[in-house]
Each structure stands twice: as structure tokens, then as C-alpha cells.
């Protein structure tokens, strides 16, 4: 399992990469592996929308399941990854790169403290797979 150490992780398997006050959000390698082959991605928020933790950002469908991507932070959506609708399989091949889903301008940076670092997230994933 690939778990970059520069990211923060949520219990619902989203990752957050913070650059200044912009949080880029996607799903973890663990999540894409559990879902298997992603065949459909729909981003359900738009630029300008205000989001809060727990809000749905996107819907994913794979050959074996459907899943929602939840927002781990609050703020304003400043960019969405339009390319994923045409190339959903990139979520499987590059979950931390080209498969980012939404960029959010952070409203409250202290929310980041509720997220896990890479080692905590790896332990959390290992506990669930038993």
C-alpha cells in the first residue's frame, strides 16, 4: 500500500495535500484497491460551493461497488478535476497524482489536526483488513 507521508488522511479514506490555504483532496491507494477497477467518477460539487466535513464531493463506481468521496475539511471549492469523468481509471493508476478530485480553500486549518498522518492511517487500514 502506497501512503505518502506528506499527506493527511481521513477515516473515510480521503487524502488531503495542503499547499498554503488550498487543500487538494482525493482517495487513498487503500480505497481504490478496495473498490477495484473504477469505471465512473462524478464530481457532485461545483466551483464556488461551500463544503464542510462529511459533505459528499464525488461518487465513484467500480466493477464491484459504488462509493462516495467525503470532504474531510471545510471551505470553498476552488477547482474540480474535470478530466476524471473521461478517464476514471486514473483513480486506480495514480490516486495521489492525476486522480485528485477537488481543491478547497480552507476555512479552518485547525480541522487538519483531526486527520491522521501516514503511519496512523496505515495502522487504521491494517486494523480494518483483519
- The per-residue pLDDT for range 33-75, each reduced to its tens digit, is 999 999 999 999 999 999 999 999 999 999 988 999 999 999 9
Domain count, the chain: 1
In a domain, 115, yes or no: no
- The candidate with the shortest Cα–Cα distance to 88, out of 57, 56, 61, is 61
In a domain, 126, yes or no: no
Task: Give the single-character DSSP code of 115.
Answer: S
Burial of residue 79, with CB atoms counted within 10 A of its CB: 0-12 exposed, 13-18 middle, 19 or more buried: middle
Residue 104 has pLDDT above 80, yes or no: yes
- The candidate with the shortest Cα–Cα distance to 12, out of 119, 124, 112, 126, is 124
Question: What pLDDT sits at residue 16?
Answer: 98
Is residue 2 a contact partner of residue 27, using CB atoms and an 8 Å limit? no
- The per-residue pLDDT for range 5-43, each reduced to its tens digit, is 999 999 999 999 999 999 999 999 999 999 999 999 999
In a domain, 67, yes or no: yes
CATH code of the domain in which 57 resides: 2.40.50.100
Question: What pLDDT sits at residue 123?
Answer: 97
Tell me which residue range forms the domain holding 72: 8-108
- The per-residue pLDDT for range 81-100, each reduced to its tens digit, is 999 999 999 999 999 999 99
Amino acid at each position: 500500500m502506497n501512503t505518502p507521508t506528506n499527506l493527511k488522511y481521513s477515516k473515510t479514506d480521503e487524502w488531503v495535500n495542503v499547499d498554503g490555504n488550498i487543500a487538494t483532496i482525493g482517495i487513498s491507494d487503500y480505497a481504490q484497491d478496495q473498490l477495484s477497477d473504477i469505471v465512473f467518477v462524478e464530481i457532485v460539487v461545483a466551483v464556488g460551493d461551500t463544503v464542510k466535513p462529511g459533505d459528499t464531493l464525488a461518487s465513484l463506481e467500480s466493477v464491484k461497488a459504488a462509493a462516495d468521496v467525503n470532504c474531510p475539511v471545510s471551505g470553498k471549492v476552488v477547482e474540480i478535476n474535470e478530466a476524471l469523468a473521461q478517464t476514471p481509471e486514473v483513480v486506480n493508476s495514480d490516486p495521489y497524482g492525476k486522480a485528485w478530485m477537488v481543491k478547497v480553500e480552507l476555512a479552518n486549518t485547525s480541522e487538519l489536526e483531526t486527520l491522521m498522518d501516514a503511519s496512523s492511517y496505515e495502522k487504521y487500514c491494517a486494523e480494518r483488513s483483519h
